[in-house]
Chain A
Amino acid sequence: MARREKTLKEIFTNGFFKQNPTFVQFLGMCPTLAVTKSVESALGMGAGVIFVLVLSNIAVSLIRNYVPREVRIPIYIVIIAALVTVLEMFMKAFVPELAKTLGTFLSLIVVNCLILGRAEAFASKNGVLKSALDGLGMAIGFTGGIVLIAIFRELLGAGSLTIWGDLRVDLIPEQYQISILVQASGAFLVFGVLVAQINKLIFSREDRNEVT
């Protein structure tokens, strides 16, 4: 039986929950743990990934028929690296404070497995529109994932939510904050708990589907 072709909507929403890069595919763990101290940096990183992933998917999809198989990975890397460099320059020029916050992790988008993963797994086999949608959907899913972690870490760990710059609310007084959550170990804790909860949701839904 031939596999049913996915609809554009399915491709776009695939990364939101079913194939969420953060909680299901575990892709791009390094930034997931490193930049989720505040919602602001998570959003910034997310925006960067959206930019790079959409463009790299489009670029890879465009040249997919002309790239010799043997050198496809180096070529994808060159494309991604060029895009990240461009992104870095734009961020340094227009949002320099955020670029400082993201620091090295900005350059490290190059080696975010999510980007290369989608280039290889999807964009190199699909058309431009689908690839763009896949890139956008996956990047939104990734952004959603890290923002969710950041919400928990910043709110419970530092008592605040920083959306952007001065757009910040302090909600929990200092004595009730769980400061370990904003430390590196806290990232693992929050991540672990969220993965467990999300998998519970997914599995119980699958169980129900099987029963019915």
Chain B
Amino acid sequence: MKHVKIIFTLTLIVLVASMMIYFVEGFTTPYIDAYNERQANLAKLDILPDYDGSFEDVSEDYDLENSPIVKMELAGEVAVFYTIEFGGYNPGITVLVGFDLVSNNIIGFRVIEQNETAGLGSVITEEDFQTQFDNLSPDDIDSIGGTTAVVTLGGVKTALNSVADFHSVEFQGAVLETPEERIIRLKEEITEVDATFTDITSDYDISGSPISKVEMVNNGSDFAILYTVEFAGYRIQFEDETRFNEYFVSFDLDTHDLIGLRVDKQFDTAGFGDQILDPVFEAQFDNLAQDAIDDVAGVTASVTLGGLKGSLEDVVNFHKSEIEGTHVETYPEMVERYKDEITVVDAIINDDSANYDLTETMVTKVELANDGTSDVAVIYTVEFVGYNTTDVVEYIISFDLDTHDILGFRVLYQNETIGYGSLIEDDDFYIQFEDMPQLDAQNGDIDAIAGTSGAPDTTFAFKASLYDVVSFHQTEFQGMIVETDEERQSRLWSELFPTATVFTKVTRDYSAHYDVEEFYEAYDGATYLGNIYHVKAEGASYSEETYLEFFLGIAEDNTFTGVKMWDDSETDGKADPFYLVEYSDLYLGEDIETDYTIDEVAGATMTNTALQYAVLQISIYHVEEYLGLPFARPANVDTADANLLLAFPTAVTFNSVYLDYAYEANIYNLYEALDGSGTVIGYVYYGYANGLNLIEFTWGVDLSGTTQEIYIVLESETWELAETQTYTTPQYDGTAGYFPTTTWLDNFEGVTFSSLLNTEIDDIIGVSRTTESLRDVLEIIAQFHSDESVGGAG
């Protein structure tokens, strides 16, 4: 009984509530409609200010089913207004667009409702954008611009084009193609007009391929094959699992090249993926050779383009095996062929990896090639990271087990830049490895990938991997005993000073340097040749403290004899290329006191910067401490007074006094700050730090050692990474170039140098490279100020 009461009460309440809403709705609807009408009319009258007639809703008279049009109104015989709904970056853009009934041009475009990203897609509501549509010919819709929001813009264009088509049919008597007519036209465009198409799909097994239909094309005789192909673009992968893109592609039955390709359906992003509809894009497929598909470009939407190319490669393989009757090589078959090519024909390959320790090498697999009687060669599978740091390059290289020279080289997988690093798998590149002397491979004495215009990063990383493989081979197959540390040190030292016979440790005779572990004088008998510094300096990692350990040779004439890497803790073998002889040789003969440039290798810009910074510090130490001479400092670098004034606002004039003090690598210049009467009231440092990129700054300090302002003169740091961090206040407000205004810099303003040196200032996670390097340099300056007693400071 109780349940009955509950049900009854609930039903009754719902009924009463519904009745109330029903009556109120009946009462208010005319008012709400009138308001909406007024709003819509305001937009219409805005477009058509001189019109004083009424607007007649004629939506019912037309078939609006397959168009974005939701409402259609006639303004007498003057104009027609379409209310259209479509999606941009977000769904739900409602737009009123007017067409003149005489000229049939667009006469106005007003956004009624939208939900696009503020500042990007929302630009479509702005007057500058909307005035583009004033008296715009429907043919020019695609020329509309004015926003970088390509997705929103694409949505607008697609919707308007569709309205323009509708308008031309209904008001200009245009006859649009039916979908069937369109398909026939597309097919004829890539075969021949009036050709006949016979469905022969059932003759083939198309399962597992992207092909949905195979047709024989006949113009009196069979001359082409046309495939209907479905492929997954962006939409299908990320949004809607049913929307396959589709194209037709035809192959000549004589040459087996492509005749052409036409996209039939695509559902990808307007402005991006839909670029595959561009006739210029499609024209690339005209008479395209089967093996040139990879060269097709011109679509920024990589997912869509990749989907199209991938499916087309499948179609080519299908065509080859089914129509041409050629066998299509599978990946295992290709690997087998490669192994034969770089060893002996019909080699028997045995995986011997289990017998080796592969943990410390780039070698991932060791295989022995047997010619039927004995093992004749060893094949190493090797992986390294080239320019594309998110993927690896995998190759095989074979060594003759008799001569221990290289037999051949083939790439199994690479994802490097097309036309640059990708040329590592070019036949021309392969040739040089046939019977290449082992020493050439070890020393990286090979042609650069992609020639001189090249792929230096991939090349360098590849050379480093070759060095690794050769070393591995020498140890495991040539019985070469791995150098002991002493042997290796002795070899490196003799590379720095080939004629030296004696090395004398002199570290204790001089005051210490933080980065110098030990240093030695090199003698040939009694003749002094130069010094070797054993350096352990800070590396370049973002995330942790790393080190670079190396020997630096400085000859008696103050030129470098080389940099020999000993050890490092950089990430992911980033420092590997620095171990090569040719990197060391870049320093050879450079005067330690003049400017010299050592290019980075293998994209390891920051490791190179860190290494060079350490070399510079040691050079200064060598001249000032070892030789007891002033370091031939570079010329002072000047900066504008305005930059100095921002660091010391109460000063009036500035006067460079840097030459009165010692040289410090991070200080470009040092200025006295003078007031109006010419009295010195403080100093301004102009210096730099190596953040992610170069940071230049000015920094004022008064006579009591209290810092004034710090002003960032130059920077291009990626401060966005500080977005998630809070220090004392949010460190990032979403605008580019925020770094110079961060409150983190306040740590260095209005404090004394001595307190700065005694306080730990945290760097900010996410931008630790920037904050750490700047903080370190500022501390160096504070120390310098005291050490050098600038203005009597102690």
Contacts and interface: CB of A to CB of B under 8 A. Distances in A.
Given A78-B17, A93-B35, A68 B6 contact: yes
B43 to A, nearest CB: 15
B58 interface: no
B24 A86 contact: yes
Nearest to B19: A82
Contacts of B9: 66-68, 71, 75
A191 B10 CA distance: 39
Instruction: Tell me the dominant secondary structure on chain B's binding face.
Output: helix
A165 interface: no
Contact of B28 (A70, A79, A93): A93
A92 interface: yes
B20 A74 contact: no
Given A68-B5, A85-B21, A78 B28 contact: no
A60 B10 CA distance: 13
Contacts of A86: 20-21, 24
Contacts of A70: 6
Interface of B: 2, 5-6, 9-10, 13-14, 17-18, 20-21, 24-25, 28-29, 31-32, 35
Given A66-B9, A71-B9, A75-B13, A82 B31 contact: no
A196 interface: no
Contacts of B14: 78
A63 B12 CA distance: 11
B24 A68 contact: no
A137 to B, nearest CB: 25
Nearest to B23: A86
Interface of A: 63, 66-68, 70-71, 74-75, 78-79, 81-82, 85-86, 89-90, 92-94, 96
19 contacts: A63-B13, A66-B9, A67-B9, A68-B5, A68-B6, A70-B6, A75-B13, A78-B13, A82-B17, A89-B21, A89-B24, A89-B28, A92-B28, A92-B32, A92-B35, A93-B29, A93-B31, A93-B32, A93-B35
A191 B6 CA distance: 42
Contacts of A94: 31
B35 A82 contact: no
Given A68-B5, A86-B24, A74 B32 contact: no
B124 to A, nearest CB: 20
A67 B5 CA distance: 9
- Identify the 10 closest CB pairs spanning chains A and B, nearest first: A93-B31, A82-B17, A93-B28, A89-B28, A86-B24, A96-B35, A68-B6, A92-B32, A93-B32, A75-B13
B84 to A, nearest CB: 22
A93 B25 CA distance: 10
Given A63-B13, A82-B17, A93-B31, 6 more contacts: A75-B13, A79-B17, A82-B21, A85-B24, A86-B24, A96-B35
Nearest to A97: B35
A75 B10 contact: yes
Contacts of B31: 92-94
A82 B2 CA distance: 26
Contacts of B32: 89, 92-93, 96
Contacts of B20: 82, 86
A85 B25 CA distance: 9
Contacts of A66: 9
A68 B35 contact: no
Contacts of A96: 32, 35
A68 B14 CA distance: 15
Contacts of B5: 68
Contacts of A81: 17
A85 B21 CA distance: 7
Nearest to B36: A96
A152 B369 CA distance: 85
Contacts of A89: 21, 24-25, 28, 32
Contact of A90 (B2, B13, B28): B28
A43 to B, nearest CB: 21
Nearest to A96: B35
A74 B14 CA distance: 10
Nearest to A68: B6
Greatest chain A CB density within 10 A among B2, B17, B21, B35 is at B17
B2 A68 contact: yes
Nearest to A94: B31
A67 to B, nearest CB: 6
Contacts of B17: 78-79, 81-82
Contacts of B13: 63, 75, 78-79
B14 to A, nearest CB: 6
A92 B5 CA distance: 37
Contacts of A67: 9
Contacts of A92: 28, 31-32, 35
